[in-house]
Amino acid sequence: MSGTVSPRMMLNRNQGAGHTDRRDAWWLEPVLTVLALGLFTAYAIWSVMQNNHYVWGPYLSPFYSPNLAEMFPAIKDWFAFSPAFLVLWIPLGFRGTCYFYRRAYYRAFFWDPPACAVDEPRGQGYSGERAFPFVFQNLHRYFFYLAALLALLHWTHAFQAFFYQGQFGMGVGTFVILLDAVFLTLYVFSCHSWRHLLAGKKDCFSCDNFTKVRHKAWLKQTKLNEHHMFFAWVSLFTVGFADFYVRLVASGAFQEWNTWGLLAGNVLKAAH
């Protein structure tokens, strides 16, 4: 008999959820993931439900982008909830079907398995992502197109954050919103689906000029893709913080420093 351990044998060895011979802190990553994703999701839903304090001066909270209430004022006549809900499904769908987040929440929330070489709650019956409801994870490539549009929108908000009442300037919020646009873009364009779109399913990279260009783009994107997990986490923090910051300033919880206030002879007061 060969010395290798087949997946079947490993399944038969399942000694109960969480059982392992590992002696390191394997549980730390799932615990931190539950905390981070749980807190972010709870905050995002709470913030979107508020339907207030999402605009201040030239700043728009990214959770309310695009600003549907401003674009279509009649929306409140037929939609009783916060208009942000009409857009929220895009970033949620994109992140929820992201290959990295799938790994993270399958481990942290479903214990499927909780970590490498740690037993999961059940030993058999794995159907992967070919059956309902996880078959919908395959929609990720379509969410990518929508997320790319959202990233573009975030750049327009970052640009607008430099202008208040027609006057060029900047405040702390300008950089908070800019940071959100930068990391959202890095997250979206380090996506595996984008990598596949650039040069997936190509057997020959030197056959014509177009495939050569695609190959170069693929190589560059691969470098970004290697840091996809990092961008996924940082962009989650920057988008949440941008909303939090705009909410604080818009609600009057504190007055931010900005050059518009400075020009008005008041360093600390916001330029309402």
Does residue 189 interact with ligand FES by CB under 6 A? no
Structure token pair of residue 237: 């923090």
Binding segment (CB under 6 A) for ligand FES, from list 1-9, 19-27, 85-93, 190-198: 190-198
Do 264 and 177 contact (CB within 8 A), yes or no?
no
The answer to whether residue 99 forms part of the interface with ligand FES (CB under 6 A) is yes
> Which uninterrupted H or E stretch holds 94?
helix 85-96
Q: Does 214 bind ligand FES (CB under 6 A)?
A: no
Quote the CA–CA distance of 131 and 272 in Å, as a whole number: 53
Amino acid code (one letter) for 14: N
As a whole number of angstroms, the distance between CA 83 and CA 56 comes to 17
Which parts of 144-163 interact with ligand FES (CB under 6 A)? Answer: 144
Among 48, 60, 87, 98, binds ligand FES (CB under 6 A): 98
Q: Which residues contact 184 (CB under 8 A, 6 or more apart)?
A: 62, 150, 151, 154, 235, 238, 239
At residue 159, the 3 state secondary structure works out as helix
Shortest distance, position 140 Cβ to ligand FES, whole Å: 6
Query: Could you say whether residue 104 binds ligand FES (CB under 6 A)?
Result: no
Which CB, 218 or 245, lies closer to ligand FES?
218
CB of 192 to ligand FES, least distance (A): 4
Binding site for ligand FES (CB under 6 A): 98-100, 140, 144, 191-193, 228
